[in-house]
Amino acid sequence: MDTHMHGTPKRATWLWLSLIGATLLTWGMGTHGAAGTWAIAALAAISFWKGAVIILDFMALRHAPLLWRAITMGWMILVWAVIAIAYLKGLGQ
């Protein structure tokens, strides 16, 4: 296996463990009533980071051609933009 293109098993394990940790952190924030602008921003940032790790590392696109990275990361950014717009629009009501 080409570790330059796909990373190492040790890196994948650490990323996987950090994804589990981030999931538990966001779950804990949600179940313990974290609210407010900073909590929402933290949840959004953590979930965006998780999406980027999955796209770039677990889908093995970190060293893929720019077009593939742009399509997948662009899709995630578009989805987050729609979520942010809906959230901000909901605040105004």
Kindly report, residue by residue over 1-26, the tens digit of the pLDDT: 566 666 889 999 999 999 999 999 99
Structure tokens belonging to residue 70: 């742009």
Low-confidence stretches of the chain (pLDDT < 50) are none
Instruction: List the Cα angle 61/46/58 in 5-degree steps.
Output: 25
Residue 57, pLDDT score: 94
Residue 5, pLDDT score: 65
Structure tokens belonging to residue 60: 């093995």
Residue 3, pLDDT score: 64
pTM value is 0.85
Q: Residue 61 burial by CB count (10 A; 0-12/13-18/19+): exposed, middle or buried?
A: middle
Structure tokens belonging to residue 67: 């077009």
Residue 34, pLDDT score: 83
